[in-house]
Structure 1
């Protein structure tokens, strides 16, 4: 994988800059030029001099600088591609016919995206205010249509002059107005022949990337190969596949290169407004999946544009009405019910009943993720230096940090019979009988058991508060109790497998005996 460059910090001002040497074959074409770039909704200009391109990232914040640096790198990569296609002629002046032809392509795209389900006609009237205002405001027009103009120009295969760009943006604004009028007709039930489209000449544009069609399925398969090679969760593969299928269904095609920022934004709006998904789900699940496969393809050189760059979904902050961890009463209620879980008369497998008993208890005293516990094997319960512990390792299944850790067990767990039960089990997984079958949707048996434990907490233990996560709430509670009894944060993180992102946290290890002393600070549950 290609190593991404990093922002350069000005030693005097502290402002971060993007600095890059221009590719040798492109340098003679762009030397001395000012290159217009669309960075999300912002329009910026990069100057080329002495074979270098330099651009202020307009921030002194490291994280923000890294995000903007990556965005600029992608945009410049496209600029170099257009420069190569333009050749020695450099910037191109479009003819009036070419400007209208490209505006027509934009018109067709807008109409095609909405005409099957245009919604109420008066809804389109509400969208016209910024379009009308843009006729007298070039900056607003650029913000409205700049990203889509760049997509059209990539098809055209040229770096156009500023004069031609202004003309194109103006005609795209006019085309957008025409598209709204057409969609209002569709919304009113008029699907007669579109006469407006006849005013636009057909565009004679060359397909980009040598005409090769790159499918989203190919990008997904490529991402999957890297994801699994790095030892990450098979479950994520199945989850991401569903998100990519959603995008393909919405677009009506599977061509990665045809997807624009506008397409991505409209898809996100569709998920939020029509499917009623939360902003958090759209941003952190659907958009994140598509962004991941595009960025992997970009780094590998399969594609040259990431349409998810600078697409953001507003996430409303959920109201906090209670602690995310179990209260003392709720914890006792679950653990008391767990002690008799193995003896209930349900038709669940003995291993599942055992999980309903032991997973809550282990999570309560370790703060571990419930999935880390349900995938434990008999060999993962160990003894070192007289301390009984569990080994949480990627060898057993998915771990969020992809790192192993050894967590000492509280003596109360031993006293209530955990070690005796483990010793009675055959070799292999503790909480299920392995079938060895790879599931198509990427889920695992351990994940199934985790879900069944959560269901048991709701239905049998009686924790019905929907604002609580029935398994993960133990992790929140552990952190709270750890602070109360004075377990240092770094040791609490070492026990629970949290990482703070600092470089120092990757150095050194904690002796098991040291962690055991901290675990013993936890008060016993009286059940």
Structure 2
């Protein structure tokens, strides 16, 4: 039976009072233990009861945050949480303020923007060189993120990467403010207040008791202040998504819109939706059209900025206006005129590209440390997409239970239950005979339960690992087909359409196989049967394996 400790517990040997509380069953996996246990560092019963009450409130707040799941921090919340870093820094250097050498106040203004100075690597007989400022910047940034992670852990907060960065920057502000105060104290200009209590500011071996009890959780940080709450861009996005998710918007839309909001906040250098003007949006549009991506090094196309960034902002601000959160939509009416793009080749793979990809997949050998599921994806996904026209993501999320046999047919069930499907509708795809001969059903039968080509993340998340798998498939195909005018993961759908046209398959049938919506209202009546799909798949020619083996020099 779990113990319920409502009062401080005196250690039988030392008589020092301890905090003990059983962790609720639903939180034990998240907390990582069955009991919260740490010293209250006093033998005084009265003082122990006071400290127990404070620690108990902190534990309850942390558990509440864990139950709330992942969330986004506003800047106000980040600064409220970072106050503990300010108090702790003052406490650590309270007695000898001039000995504070871990934070360089003169470097802080460029902490997040400075470009590292050139470094040289060590060579045999020659020592390398690293400018001291590079080391200082790295140390300061590491301190900010490490402290941010400790604050999140103490409060039981699970946040996205952008919120973690916000908190790290807020920690930087707190440390800079504290260091400037210490600098003045070291010169004798001011005296440091002795109020920071030992038990409320220092790190106590990672115990919950290390958190400063005066620091409220983010929800309390806002509700305890009077006056109307400002509308942050992140808060606006979260509120919109709660409604949009219920209306069936895709996770991919969330990812795209979230990225746009983060770009906008970084550009504006603030998170206040009420301060965004039409001129700001125009400037942001021009900035996006001229700024290379840090990941790819390429400037986004006008179509990307129009269809992703501007579309997202129009939707979010339009929703805010409809819901009486803002008086006007600053993105309204703004667009980019896009000329018709020149087409220099077909959108689908050509024969030589198809043969090269399928040959590489057929003979793929997993890397020494490669995840077996990723290796299986490189072996099978190109073939599955070639014979179905399915989106790579739809095939990439297949589970063992999504393949079944009915009579002589092997059937794949593409379903949103496995992850995500663009149309939100499940569909059956008949397996081509060459896939059966190559051993795909045997591969599935030998696989473990669950996804065939990816490893679910924490809490069974599939969408995150699926995004990573799609990137790895692009990286697998791109060296084989370096032409930038064809998309590595989307070329199969264009190819499948071409093959079906050449085989004189009814467009309604092959569109149903691919998961395309009907082109007309009339096409939405009646169903394309499994029999019709099977007849269509049988018309598709097999690939010449001898020719594919010859590409890699195998016989």
Task: Verify same fold: TM over 0.5.
Answer: yes
Secondary structure of 2:245's partner? helix
Aligned partner of 2:208 in structure 1 is none
How far apart, CA to CA, are the structure 2 residues paired with 1:356 and 1:292?
37
How far apart, CA to CA, are the structure 2 residues paired with 1:427 and 1:274?
45
Question: Alignment partner for residue 449 of structure 2, among 405, 422, 427?
Answer: 427
Aligned partner of 2:417 in structure 1 is 395
Q: CA deviation at 1:235?
A: 4.1
Aligned partner of 2:511 in structure 1 is 493
Secondary structure of 1:388's partner? strand
- Does residue 365 in structure 1 map to residue 382 in structure 2? no
Change (3 A) 1:384 1:308: farther
- Report how many residues are paired: 313
Aligned partner of 2:532 in structure 1 is 514
Secondary structure of 2:412's partner? strand
How far apart, CA to CA, are the structure 1 residues paired with 2:437 and 2:248?
36
How far apart, CA to CA, are the structure 2 residues paired with 1:438 and 1:307?
39
1:434-449 to 2 correspondences below 5 Å:
434-437=456-459, 444-449=464-469
Q: CA deviation at 1:372?
A: 0.5
Q: Work out whether residues 367 and 474 of structure 1, in 8 Å CA contact, stay in contact via their aligned partners in 2.
A: yes
Aligned partner of 2:431 in structure 1 is 409
Q: CA deviation at 1:362?
A: 0.3
Aligned partner of 1:215 in structure 2 is 232
Secondary structure of 1:389's partner? strand
Secondary structure of 2:445's partner? helix
TM-score of the superposed pair, with normalisation by structure 2: 0.53
Q: Work out whether residues 298 and 306 of structure 1, in 8 Å CA contact, stay in contact via their aligned partners in 2.
A: yes
1:458-473 to 2 correspondences below 5 Å:
458-459=478-479, 462-473=480-491
Change (3 A) 1:288 1:391: same
How far apart, CA to CA, are the structure 2 residues paired with 1:516 and 1:246?
47
Question: Alignment partner for residue 360 of structure 2, among 337, 346, 351?
Answer: 337
How far apart, CA to CA, are the structure 1 residues paired with 2:453 and 2:408?
25
Question: Alignment partner for residue 279 of structure 1, among 297, 302, 307?
Answer: 302
Task: Please list every run of 5 or more consecutive structure 1 residues that lacks an aligned counterpart in the other structure.
Answer: 1-209
- Does residue 248 in structure 1 map to residue 265 in structure 2? yes
Deviation readout 1:491-513 (Å, 9 max, x if unpaired) = 12111111246434443321111
Secondary structure of 1:429's partner? coil
Q: CA deviation at 1:358?
A: 0.4
Q: CA deviation at 1:283?
A: 0.7
Secondary structure of 1:284's partner? helix
Q: Work out whether residues 280 and 316 of structure 1, in 8 Å CA contact, stay in contact via their aligned partners in 2.
A: no
Q: CA deviation at 1:437?
A: 4.4
Question: Alignment partner for residue 471 of structure 2, among 428, 451, 455?
Answer: 451
How far apart, CA to CA, are the structure 2 residues paired with 1:306 and 1:270?
20
1:169-208 to 2 correspondences below 5 Å:
none
How far apart, CA to CA, are the structure 2 residues paired with 1:410 and 1:281?
36
* C-alpha RMSD of matched pairs (Å): 2.3
How far apart, CA to CA, are the structure 1 residues paired with 2:521 and 2:229?
43
Task: Please list every run of 5 or more consecutive structure 2 residues that lacks an aligned counterpart in the other structure.
Answer: 1-226, 293-298, 546-555
Question: Alignment partner for residue 294 of structure 1, among 296, 305, 317?
Answer: 317
Aligned partner of 2:549 in structure 1 is none
Question: Alignment partner for residue 239 of structure 1, among 214, 232, 256?
Answer: 256
Question: Alignment partner for residue 355 of structure 1, among 363, 377, 382?
Answer: 377
Deviation readout 1:473-504 (Å, 9 max, x if unpaired) = 11110111111111111112111111246434
Question: Alignment partner for residue 396 of structure 2, among 366, 371, 374?
Answer: 374
| Runs of 4+ in structure 1 over 6 Å off | none
Q: CA deviation at 1:218?
A: 2.1
Q: CA deviation at 1:514?
A: 0.9
Secondary structure of 2:482's partner? coil
How far apart, CA to CA, are the structure 1 residues paired with 2:333 and 2:455?
46
How far apart, CA to CA, are the structure 1 residues paired with 2:247 and 2:522?
23
Secondary structure of 1:464's partner? coil
After TM superposition, the structure 1 stretch with the greater mean CA deviation from structure 2, 224-233 or 465-474, is: 224-233
Secondary structure of 1:421's partner? helix
Change (3 A) 1:428 1:307: same
Q: CA deviation at 1:443?
A: 5.2
Change (3 A) 1:227 1:385: farther
Deviation readout 1:451-484 (Å, 9 max, x if unpaired) = 212211234xx22222221121111101111111
TM-score of the superposed pair, with normalisation by structure 1: 0.56
How far apart, CA to CA, are the structure 2 residues paired with 1:298 and 1:499?
32
Question: Alignment partner for residue 276 of structure 2, among 259, 262, 265?
Answer: 259
Q: Work out whether residues 392 and 404 of structure 1, in 8 Å CA contact, stay in contact via their aligned partners in 2.
A: yes
Q: Work out whether residues 518 and 524 of structure 2, in 8 Å CA contact, stay in contact via their aligned partners in 1.
A: no
How far apart, CA to CA, are the structure 1 residues paired with 2:247 and 2:508?
26
Q: Work out whether residues 320 and 326 of structure 2, in 8 Å CA contact, stay in contact via their aligned partners in 1.
A: yes
Aligned partner of 1:17 in structure 2 is none
Change (3 A) 1:438 1:295: farther
